[in-house]
Structure 1
Amino acid sequence: MTGLTSEAAAQRINAIAGQTVVLRPTTAAHVPAFLEILGHPEIARWWGGYDLERVRRELLGPHCYAIELAREVVGLIIYREELDPDHRHAAIDLALHPDHQSQGLGCDAMRAMARFLFRHREHHRVVIDPAAHNERAIRSCERAGFRRVGVLRSYERSSDGQWHDGLLMDLLPDDLS
């Protein structure tokens, strides 16, 4: 562990390398690719409501990374932190362009981000909460080592205004082995 728990620790990391993908801190140059990814119908059903202003406001910052494959932006991954020492953990979420799904890239990105969160941000647990009916995302999370914890009933409002369940999943450092 580095002992760095401030934003300075996150900013020291220029890129996070996975086995295949590289996670790069977001910049304004990523906005067009993010708009394309989040606007794709297969992604918008899970990540609805992202326009230019929301992308700029929520996806450009120290906790947001572009997922790159051979320098091409193929997705995005973000993390949030609970910093209370008695409950300290991180949560992640990601979106991967449909042209790059089912290739192990999402799993690689999740594992790379989890390693970063464990080693550099000193978290002991990482959680993710895909829609309970998003089987593709759930399978990818399980391949990355996440385990099912339980169903969060009426957890998230979808783009059609209906509430749907989420599946809480978590990952501990030993789960990455």
Structure 2
Amino acid sequence: MTEQTSAARARRLSAIAGQTVVLRPATAAHVPIFLEILEHPEIEKWWGGYDLERVRRELLGPHSYAIELAGETTGLIIYREELDPDHRYAAIDLALHPDHQNQGLGCDAMRAMARFLFRHRDHHRVVIDPAVDNARAIRSCERAGFRRVGVMRAYERSADGGWHDGLLMDLLQEDLPGA
């Protein structure tokens, strides 16, 4: 499949259905909700530094989606792509409001996005990189099928301005249930 054909198919999809959640393309209407989620103390420690302009600049666009449960926005999920044919893969990141954690919604959102990236964007591998200290996120990624690859030292700037380690995790298409 050509890149143009794949991109055209991806644009036609208006929503991505999971088992429980629906991923909808992010719009300007999602900006205040995304900001509220990212400013929550339990999320801000991992996603620190977002203000209204940064949310608009970085979390709107064709690779950004709202995570919805029964029509309510409960989080956000984004993806980035490496399109070099010899190193092609996608990376995802998500934030789920603490009121909706521990219900399997993050796992469902990751699986839904991974299926989309495998089927409609022609990737064979998806990566995610939670902070080494974010045990809840790591457990959710593992439930979604991601495997630990290794620790990336001093990988990401913390909200306090220091650096913290990230855990590189990956999911191959054949590892995803129902892929």
TM range (shorter): over 0.9
Cα gap change, 1:2/1:83 in structure 2, threshold over 3 Å: closer, same or farther?
Answer: closer
Report the CA distance shift for 1:83/1:106 in structure 2 as closer, same or farther (over 3 A): same
- Show the 5 A alignment for 1:69-84: 69-84=69-84
User: Contact between 1:2 and 1:119, CA under 8 Å: does it hold in 2?
Assistant: no
User: 1:27 is matched by which residue type in structure 2?
Assistant: T
Equivalent residues, number: 176
Identity over aligned pairs, percent: 83
TM-score by length of 2: 0.96
Post-superposition shift, 1:162? 1.1
SS in 1 for 2:108: helix
* Structure-1 separation of matches of 2:9 and 2:161: 38
Q: Does 1:175 align with 2:143?
A: no
Where does residue 6 of structure 2 map in the other structure? 5
> Where in structure 1 are there 5+ consecutive unaligned residues?
none
Unaligned regions of 5+ residues in structure 2, if any? none
Task: Find the aligned partners of 1:40 and 1:18 in 2 and give their Cα distance.
Answer: 25
Show structure 1 runs of 4+ deviating over 6 A.
none
Counterpart in 1 of 2:40?
Answer: 40
- Looking at structure 2, the residues matched to 139 and 96 of structure 1 have their Cα atoms a distance apart, in angstroms, of 14
**Residues 20-169 of structure 1 correspond to what in structure 2 (within 5 A)?**
20-169=20-169
Q: SS where residue 169 of structure 2 aligns?
A: strand
Hey, what's the Cα distance between the residues in 1 that align with 2:131 and 2:96? 15
Root mean square deviation of aligned Cα: 1.2
2:93 aligned partner, one-letter code: D
Contact kept? 1:10, 1:120, Cα under 8 Å: yes
